[in-house]
Structure 1
Amino acid sequence: MTSTPDRRSSGRAQATDEGWRRGFAEPDFEEDEGRRGGARAAAARSDVDDVGPGVFEGVDDHGVITVTVDRSGRVADVVVPPTWRGGGALEPRELGHALCTAANNALLSQLADTLRRLDAGPVAPKRTSLVPPEVSMSEVADLFNRFERDFETYRTRLEEALNVTGVGTGPNGRVTVTMEPGRVVEVTADPRWASHSRHTEIRAEALRAFRSAVAKLGNPDPNAVPLPPSLARLRELARGPVN
């Protein structure tokens, strides 16, 4: 007697076999890492000490790297997403330029905010006259005769005071930042190291390099350069008596 195969039994065996194979299938670590990396990137943003009006963001031309600075121009954080190398977003050789662009865009935002706050300041009182009556015209003429020479001397001293450069390097020497007052001149990053390093390592290395450069730059203050007597007197006269 010929037996007929049990279709239900065969179907259960096939399903069990497929489930057994799926149990040994390689999990999608890349997708899982992307999810965990996104959470870490969000957490990195929350690590900024003063999130809010006192922090200004800048991104690179590709919209991948983010740098934040505080009101003083100090780099508060560097955000490198875990997928920064994926999908042709950035090449490792482009990392330094991207960090430089993002930092300068953040500094521009900080400068724009400073100018807006200056414009919103109190309105200067109106002068009643250009030259107070107690000031002789001969004094004014003498001040203007000395103005051009004294101004050139003052400008030279001011440029010398502000013409400083700070160079900082990360703890592993993989990222180097060169800064001048108010701007980042250059950022270099070892492309071989960047091609395989984790985004968290890159963030830490870049952040330390930025902060080291700022520390070496110091705090150049144009107010530390005194005005020549003729310029100081002209400024005093320009303010004039007020209503």
Structure 2
Amino acid sequence: MLSLSEAIILGIVQGLAEWLPISSEGMTSLVMVTFFDRSLSEAIPISIWLHLGTLLAATVYFRDDVKKLLSGIPDYVRSFSKKEPHDPIISFLLISTILTGIVGLPLLLFVTDKAEMSGGSATAVIGIMLIFTGLLQRTISKDVSLARIPGMSDSLVAGISQGFAAIPGISRSGVTMSALLLRKFDAADAIRLSFLMSIPAVLVAEIGVGLMDMVELDVYSFVALFFAFAFGLVTIDLFLKVAKKVDFSYFCIGLGILSVLAMFL
């Protein structure tokens, strides 16, 4: 599946890119296609596998939120029989994850089963998606946003948006944060909800990839996972602070243009 050097490089790229709105799946796929001579359909399952490392890092970083949500599940289930109000965050994560699967699974199956592109063509496709991600970030409203509780419509918008991140080059964090900011959430809540959304979504994706036997597990695949976890855990706090202040849309657009132009060189 991977050599030792490939595992280390890809793990580091995943750990660094996951927290920024630049598509970690696009970055790792771009590295595999451009430097490791992988086809796009080969690169995508490996990219999804690497997300498990940064998922573990996010779980450690947001452990207080995760513990609170897990401890609230029994009360959430009982609230239906008692006809009491439900925990809005659990409802948000549940609905958004279901919609992510409905939208993302067909896209994932398409790009892995049908898109046997490699080399310049695959690089260009990823580049186009990076440009789209950058342009999406440029459209975020600058109006005053509010700290508020997510509702049904927020769950629908965020979940559908996250589903499109199955396409390499479309940033999961970028598209979900953009969707939540457009829904008038403040930046802090948008970032927190976006990363909480990633936990069940990535778990479901990992289960799906495992059931479909899309990734060959060996010692180097776990080396890649370790490096993704380690670098993700070390950098998450710094990068979340940077992401609030730096406009990464220009980076996405610039890298996307270079990726498209590479097809003609």
The two structures have a TM-score, normalised by structure 1, of 0.32
The structure with the greater share of residues assigned to strand is 1
Larger Rg: 1
Answer 1 or 2: which has greater helix percent: 2
Q: With the length of structure 2 as denominator, give the TM-score of the two structures.
A: 0.30
